[in-house]
Structures are given as C-alpha cells and as structure tokens.
C-alpha cells in the first residue's frame, strides 16, 4: 500500500500543474471562444524567467516566483494583443493558426536565446516530509501549495469579483453582456492575464521540481493540459481542476504499476473514451448547450 499512496502523492503533485494550465485553456476558450495554442509557451516563459532571476540576481523564492509569474503574465498580454484580440469573433481556426504561429516563434526564440540544451534552474528547497512511509519533498509541497493558491485565487476571482461576474456573463451570452455595457476587451485582457499567470506558476513549478528549463517544455505538458480541458468541458472550473489532478494520479499509477513508457498514453486514451461517450466533456461545455 505504501507504493500505491506514494504514486498517488506523486500524481497529485504533477496533476496540480496540469490543472492550472488546463484551467487557463478553459477560461480563454469559454470566455472568448479562442483556442490559444501559445498558452503552454507562457509556462515556458515562466520557467526561463525563473532561470534568469536565479542566475543573475537571487535564488530567494519570494523573489523568483513572483517575477517569473509576472513575466508569463506580460507574455500572455502580448499574445492577447497580437493574436487573440484581432481574431476574436472570427472562425475558431483563425485564432488556432495565429496563436499556433506565435507558439512556434516563442519556442524558437527561446532556443535561439538559451540554446537547445536544458538550462539548470539553481533553486533548491531542502528537506523531505514522511508520513506513514510516504515521502514528499519540501520542493514538491511548495510547488503544490503554489498550484493550490492559484486555483483558489482563480475560483475566487471568477465567482466573487465584479470582473469575474462579467467574465461569466461573457461566457454565457457574449452579445447580451456587450449590450449591457461589459467591456469585452478588458475582460479579454483580464482572462488571458489570469490564465497566463497560472501557466507561469506551473512553469516555475516544473522548473523548480526538475531543476531545469527547456525551449520545448510546454509541448507535451501543454497538450496534456489541453486534453484535461476537453475531457472536463469548459463550464465548471472545479471540474477542470479535478480532471487535471486525476490525470496526474492515473499517469503515476500507470508508470508505477505497468510501465513508465505508457504514462503519456493515459491522457489520450481518456480523451478518446470521453469524446466517444460524452462529446461535451464530463462536466459540460458552453459550446454544446
């Protein structure tokens, strides 16, 4: 049983990062009906920002994390202005192509600046915690806490703030919200800003956990997070969080009990099954009502 619980703990740690990136995908798509393929690259920006700050200035996490998240947020606002706002309201493939192009530019730009090889993010949190034979490092607990804080903050923003209510109104009935005086451009900026701040936090978490950052780190990680959004549907943020954490746990169990080479198959197997049985996602989607 110790191995089982250890794999569950490992899965929850990774799944929490899936959840916050998937939540960003879901917010952007449900509010603006835009598929932001550059979203995972903002996680990469956060990771490299952590590397730059830790290398040139300080390894203090109270400085590294906020600056890295800020860098991801600024990258997201640039994406919103260059690719999302001009394509909003057009065919969904228009934003798909525009943000996909930006994604390629960001990946290759990072490769040009930092090189092909992984760079070392020299920030360490020493120590481990053991409960009943199950081990979690302090670094894992710290990054998990960061993910939980971002998810709770996102939920509070959407449910309990003025602009969060405006965001939900735009998600439900775009034309009605605009007719009632909602500033759609401001909602777009705030939604993308929040989404990319969460992605930046996920990127920092990955960089700290693995002590490295790479130009293409957002590719497979972002794909799995996008799958989480598709599986959950985009109606309920709690559903997206749940699916992200569940995917992390299932991957860890498959890697621990069957084969590590099969862990990447889990997300896509679940996606095929859910799309066949419930195309709107487990918890429903605005696009299917």
pLDDT profile of the chain (289 residues), mean per 10: 87 91 87 86 95 92 94 94 85 87 94 93 83 85 90 88 84 74 84 92 91 90 88 83 92 89 87 87 67
Helical (H) or strand (E) element with 223: helix 218-232
Let me know if residue 124 belongs to a domain.
no
Does residue 100 contact residue 37 with C-beta atoms inside 8 Å? yes
pLDDT at 197: 93
Is 149 among the domain residues?
yes
Question: Cβ contacts of residue 198 below 8 Å, gap of 6+?
Answer: 20, 21, 23, 24, 150, 151, 154
Is residue 288 in some structural domain? no
Quick one: DSSP state of residue 234? S
**Is 283 among the domain residues?**
no
Query: What is the residue range of 198's domain?
Result: 2-116+138-277
- The model carries a pTM of 0.89
**Does residue 7 sit within a domain?**
yes
Angle at 194 between CA 188 and CA 196, to 5 degrees: 100
Domain count, the chain: 1
CATH number (domain holding residue 37): 1.10.3470
Domain for residue 74, yes or no? yes
Q: Is residue 72 domain-resident?
A: yes
pLDDT score for 288: 41
Any domain includes 126: no
């Amino acid at each position: 049983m110790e191995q089982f619980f250890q794999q569950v703990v490992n899965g929850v740690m990774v799944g929490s990062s899936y959840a916050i990136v998937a939540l960003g995908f879901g917010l952007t798509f449900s509010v603006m009906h835009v598929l932001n393929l550059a979203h995972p690259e903002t996680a990469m920006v956060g990771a490299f920002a952590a590397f730059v700050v830790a290398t040139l200035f300080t390894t203090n996490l109270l400085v590294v994390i906020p600056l890295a998240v800020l860098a991801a947020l600024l990258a997201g606002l640039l994406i919103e202005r260059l690719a999302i706002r001009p394509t909003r309201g057009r065919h969904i493939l228009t934003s798909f192509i525009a943000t996909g192009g930006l994604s390629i530019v960001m990946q290759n730009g990072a490769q040009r600046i930092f090189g092909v090889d992984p760079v070392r993010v020299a920030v360490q949190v020493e120590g481990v915690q053991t409960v009943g034979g199950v081990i979690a490092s302090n670094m894992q607990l710290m990054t998990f806490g960061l993910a939980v804080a971002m998810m709770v903050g996102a939920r509070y923003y959407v449910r309990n703030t003025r602009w969060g209510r405006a965001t939900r109104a735009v998600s439900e009935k775009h034309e009605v919200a605009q007719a009632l005086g909602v500033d759609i451009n401001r909602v777009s900026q705030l939604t993308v800003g929040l989404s990319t701040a969460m992605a930046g936090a996920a990127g920092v978490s990955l960089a700290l956990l693995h002590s490295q950052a790479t130009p293409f780190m957002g590719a497979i990680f972002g794909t799995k997070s996008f799958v989480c959004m598709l599986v959950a549907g985009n109606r309920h943020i709690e559903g997206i969080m749940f699916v992200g954490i569940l995917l992390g746990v299932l991957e860890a169990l498959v890697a621990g009990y069957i084969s590590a080479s099969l862990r990447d198959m889990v997300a896509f197997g679940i996606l095929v099954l859910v799309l066949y049985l419930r195309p709107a996602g487990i918890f429903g989607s605005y696009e299917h009502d």
